[in-house]
A and B are shown apart, each in its own frame.
Chain A
Amino acid sequence: MLDRILGPRVPADLSAEQLRGYRLPTLLFSGAALLLIISILMPYWHLDLKAPQFPDGLVVEAFVNRLQGDVVELEGLNHYVGLGSFDDGAVFERSIAVLGILGLAGLLGASLFVHSRWVLFITLPALLFPIIFIVDLQWWLWNYGHNLDPLAPFAAAVGEFTPPIFGPAEIAQFDTLALPGPGLLVAVAASVMIGFGLWHHRKAYKPLIEAAMDTA
């Protein structure tokens, strides 16, 4: 079974040009793993808020495991609208985020040894990670906007809403603009690399697998 998952080994006697075809997926998967690890240090989501009494605006940046920026000021303002505390959001996700991403990178590392179509299962979590992040964030935003404290002074005036995950919105006197952060862009780049890696992986190993099956 393990042999089937690992798939065939690369023949020993290859020209430099032939070797390149096998190295390409290795490079792309390793690069993607590296990018994912780096992305931990970068904000995934960026929210600008502008209002007349904040001439320099307010900013919140979401990393995978924490928030940065004018968090205290916004926490203070949130209670007017009845938005919940940032501390109560995505607690589980934030607690596992760093280990989870390291795990995804680890899977990408493991995939270097897998020369069968099983590679798809091993790399798929990393490939889909940006989408998972976006869906989860969207869910939390919906959750925040639909669980306003009914006793909050401005809850009724603002009403239930879903802050858009990307793009502009208006909430009370604030004009907001949500943008993907560099971390998310790096994670997307990692996904693209994994995609290309899979394509090159198939190109390189499919003939070997078929040859092995023919021999069998």
Chain B
Amino acid sequence: MRRLRGLWAKGPIKGVALLATFFLVVGACSSGDDDSGGITSSVAEERGFTQDQIDAALTTYMPSGEIDPYIMFASGGQGGQVIVIGVPSMRILKVIGVFTPEPWQGWGYGAKGTEEVLAQGQVNGRDVLWADTHHPALSETAGDYDGQYLFINDKANARIAVIDLRDFETKQIIKNPVAIVDHGGTKVTPNTEWVIEGGQYATPHGWEYAPISSYESDYKGMVTFWKFDREAGRIDESSSFAMELPPYWQDLCDAGKLVSEGWVFCGSFNTELATGGIEDGNPPFEAGASARDNDYLHVINLDKAAEVASAGNTFDVNGFPMISLQTSIDEGLLYFVPEPKSPHGSDVAPGGDYIVVSGKLDPHVTIYSFEKMMTAIDTENWTLDQFGVPVLDFDSVMEAQIEVGLGPLHTEFDDQGYAYTSLFLDSAVARWSLGPPYNDAWELIGTVPVHYNIGHLSTAEGDTVSPDGDFLVAMNKWSIDRFFHPGPLLPQNFQLVDISGPGDDMSVLYDMPIGMGEPHYGQIIKADKLSPWDFYPGVGFDPHTMSIDPNAPVAGNERIERNGDQVEIWSTAIRSHFTPEIIEIQAGDHVVWHITNIEQSVDSTHGFTIPGYNINLSLEPGETATIEFEADMDGVFPFYCTEFCSALHLEMMGYFLVKP
């Protein structure tokens, strides 16, 4: 708790000083021998709180009007969205519509711009309107979060989305042309030149068919490197490429940084090449893919791979350039390092000098030295795997192994030279110290129990070159007895852990139920690194081009124009009326309806729905949107503002009359 006081005092948020004073008083009495005295609270007394509970409550408490110093972007799991959470209060601020339509934000309910982004996520022309969102990645500059963009992958359909953090809206969805499913994304390189999307379950590339019996020859692994154009705020597909990998199941990747910048490290499992078939008496995947003691950490020379790809030394899959496995071997783009048993996480230390891997069926974290890897590559200290890929000698590249507990998965870092690894089976977080130059020794420091079955964890700015520490969020899969049971499907449990103290001083501060999907990973950024717009900069702003649309309706040019059976409408919305209000057309007309919220003040959002036509827009101040539909249903449709905007919100309506 001691260092957290510092956080509040230096925090960017006004009014925290008062709270800090409160902490000092509470802290002073908590450091005493007994738990009495100091602040007396009849509530604490009545509820029988211990001093630790009072401290925890005060650490997460945000008086009305105060703003959290950190913001967490968590995947929304099966919800296909991104959850924005204030830390440490753990209040949900928004659920950003990404792969899944989201009605409040008018995401995918008629607004053409949003429909077009969602349509980018089609698979073979088929709408896929859900996603298994896994790993959000904040854009970075020089290895540190810059607060500009957020990327997230959809494991189920191998898709990547780009979210602009000026308006917290999804701008682009990309379907991977090679793989039908992914997992190891997203991660970014230190200056966000590349967005990394690692594969998972090997399949024939290009979404083709091949029998399972030809698994070894026709099924492939992959990693895709998406080129990000920061100016455009979009992934540039034409400059992106993929690498063909053996049909191991690639898992999470991390980008090298500082000394290891230009390299990428991806874990893998099922190097057994198991093909399952429990129904035929074969070992099920869970056994078959866990048989060997080691799998392979993939060490990829991204800089060199990008050169090979831009030189055109690739073949096409679905029109997308791919570097063949043989080219990777010949050009020295790919090396393997044995990693203990079915690893999950692959995380690069803040200095870029070490790579941490956890084999989930091995109680250790294994730490590799990047420098030693480079030496092994230079001296060709390797053997070859069955596909001819060099496998570096384990002992010569391994720096340390630390027994941390059962089921180690993912690792993040803090500013004290500690690393934190989630322990799924132990339901705990292990804190261990990094060796030189971070700390004296590679050793386990302590563990803190979490509830229950932790997957990922996230520390404040914990995968950057300068982690903050302060807080850790344990992303627990099971909550069992932590909350009221809202039926047999229980919420997930995000637990906030105070990691500001030294040694084994760590404590759970808060349980946050997540009842909208099973989030996987999240990233925590300082709130003051984000500078989102209060409203769109200018009336008639189109969020999908991020510019003012010259054709957008503005005050005074509202009109209705008919051209044959096409009716085009230019409407405006302002508290508390639409212009025009009465619109009469003929059944069968094709309607193109532009509508602009012409306000420019904070929070003056208007909604817009046409009942029966599955249309709902959210028009934030300044925003313009276009809807286009066949008026094939005659009748009288009161259209209205769906966002309670003003005292006369109910009167903010009009009639859309469709004559039979």
A in complex with B: yes
> How many of chain A's residues touch chain B, expressed as a range?
under 10
Q: When the two chains form the complex, which single residue of B600, B601, B647 contacts A80, counting CB atoms closer than 8 Å?
A: B647
Measured between C-beta atoms, what is the minimum distance from A69 to chain B in Å? 12
Point out the residues of chain A lying under 8 angstroms from B600, CB to CB: 72-73
B575: Cβ under 8 A from any A Cβ:
yes
A76: Cβ under 8 A from any B Cβ:
yes
Q: When the two chains form the complex, which single residue of A70, A76, A153 contacts B574, counting CB atoms closer than 8 Å?
A: A76
Point out the residues of chain B lying under 8 angstroms from A70, CB to CB: 601
Q: When the two chains form the complex, which single residue of B599, B647, B648, B651 contacts A76, counting CB atoms closer than 8 Å?
A: B599
Taken together as a complex, chains A and B put the C-alpha atoms of A5 and B601 apart, in Å, by 58
Query: Do residues A80 and B648 form an inter-chain contact, with CB atoms below 8 A?
Result: yes
Query: Do residues A153 and B599 form an inter-chain contact, with CB atoms below 8 A?
Result: no
Taken together as a complex, chains A and B put the C-alpha atoms of A50 and B599 apart, in Å, by 20
Measured between C-beta atoms, what is the minimum distance from A149 to chain B in Å? 14
Q: In the complex, which residue of chain B has the Cβ closest to the Cβ of A70?
A: B601
Point out the residues of chain A lying under 8 angstroms from B599, CB to CB: 76
Interface of B, secondary structure class, is loop
Counting chain B CB atoms within 10 Å of each CB, which of A70, A73, A76 scores highest?
A76
Contact pattern, A 72-94, Cβ under 8 Å of B = 1, otherwise 0: 11001100100000000000000
Point out the residues of chain A lying under 8 angstroms from B575, CB to CB: 76-77
Taken together as a complex, chains A and B put the C-alpha atoms of A59 and B651 apart, in Å, by 28
What number of B residues sit within 8 Å (CB to CB) of A?
9
Measured between C-beta atoms, what is the minimum distance from A207 to chain B in Å? 64
Query: Do residues A73 and B601 form an inter-chain contact, with CB atoms below 8 A?
Result: yes
Taken together as a complex, chains A and B put the C-alpha atoms of A76 and B646 apart, in Å, by 11
Measured between C-beta atoms, what is the minimum distance from A210 to chain B in Å? 66
Taken together as a complex, chains A and B put the C-alpha atoms of A77 and B575 apart, in Å, by 8
Point out the residues of chain B lying under 8 angstroms from A72, CB to CB: 600-601
Taken together as a complex, chains A and B put the C-alpha atoms of A153 and B651 apart, in Å, by 10
In the complex, chain B residues 536-589 whose Cβ is within 8 Å of any chain A Cβ:
574-576
Taken together as a complex, chains A and B put the C-alpha atoms of A70 and B601 apart, in Å, by 9
In the complex, chain B residues 632-660 whose Cβ is within 8 Å of any chain A Cβ:
647-648, 651
Point out the residues of chain B lying under 8 angstroms from A77, CB to CB: 575
Q: In the complex, which residue of chain A has the Cβ closest to the Cβ of B651?
A: A153
Q: In the complex, which residue of chain A has the Cβ closest to the Cβ of B539?
A: A72
Point out the residues of chain B lying under 8 angstroms from A73, CB to CB: 600-601
Q: In the complex, which residue of chain B has the Cβ closest to the Cβ of A72?
A: B600
Contact pattern, A 52-78, Cβ under 8 Å of B = 1, otherwise 0: 000000000000000000101100110
Query: Do residues B648 and A153 form an inter-chain contact, with CB atoms below 8 A?
Result: yes
Contact pattern, B 616-644, Cβ under 8 Å of A = 1, otherwise 0: 00000000000000000000000000000
Contact pattern, B 494-525, Cβ under 8 Å of A = 1, otherwise 0: 00000000000000000000000000000000
Point out the residues of chain B lying under 8 angstroms from A80, CB to CB: 576, 647-648
Taken together as a complex, chains A and B put the C-alpha atoms of A76 and B573 apart, in Å, by 12
Measured between C-beta atoms, what is the minimum distance from A15 to chain B in Å? 63
Measured between C-beta atoms, what is the minimum distance from B205 to chain A in Å? 56
Taken together as a complex, chains A and B put the C-alpha atoms of A76 and B575 apart, in Å, by 7
Point out the residues of chain A lying under 8 angstroms from B651, CB to CB: 153
Point out the residues of chain B lying under 8 angstroms from A153, CB to CB: 576, 647-648, 651
Measured between C-beta atoms, what is the minimum distance from B393 to chain A in Å? 64
Point out the residues of chain B lying under 8 angstroms from A76, CB to CB: 574-575, 599, 601
Measured between C-beta atoms, what is the minimum distance from A80 to chain B in Å? 7
Taken together as a complex, chains A and B put the C-alpha atoms of A72 and B574 apart, in Å, by 12
Contact pattern, A 141-182, Cβ under 8 Å of B = 1, otherwise 0: 000000000000100000000000000000000000000000
Measured between C-beta atoms, what is the minimum distance from A97 to chain B in Å? 27
Q: In the complex, which residue of chain A has the Cβ closest to the Cβ of B646?
A: A80
Taken together as a complex, chains A and B put the C-alpha atoms of A29 and B279 apart, in Å, by 106
Q: In the complex, which residue of chain B has the Cβ closest to the Cβ of A77?
A: B575
Point out the residues of chain A lying under 8 angstroms from B601, CB to CB: 70, 72-73, 76
Point out the residues of chain A lying under 8 angstroms from B647, CB to CB: 80, 153
Contact pattern, B 575-611, Cβ under 8 Å of A = 1, otherwise 0: 1100000000000000000000001110000000000
Q: In the complex, which residue of chain A has the Cβ closest to the Cβ of B600?
A: A72
Taken together as a complex, chains A and B put the C-alpha atoms of A73 and B599 apart, in Å, by 8
A interface list, Cβ under 8 A from B: 70, 72-73, 76-77, 80, 153
A selection of 8 A-B contacts at a CB cut-off of 8 Å is A72-B600, A72-B601, A76-B574, A76-B575, A76-B599, A80-B576, A80-B647, A153-B648
B interface list, Cβ under 8 A from A: 574-576, 599-601, 647-648, 651
Given contacts A77-B575, A153-B647, 15 further A-B contacts (CB under 8 A): A70-B601, A72-B600, A72-B601, A73-B600, A73-B601, A76-B574, A76-B575, A76-B599, A76-B601, A80-B576, A80-B647, A80-B648, A153-B576, A153-B648, A153-B651
4 interchain residue pairs of minimum CB distance = A73-B601, A153-B648, A76-B575, A72-B600
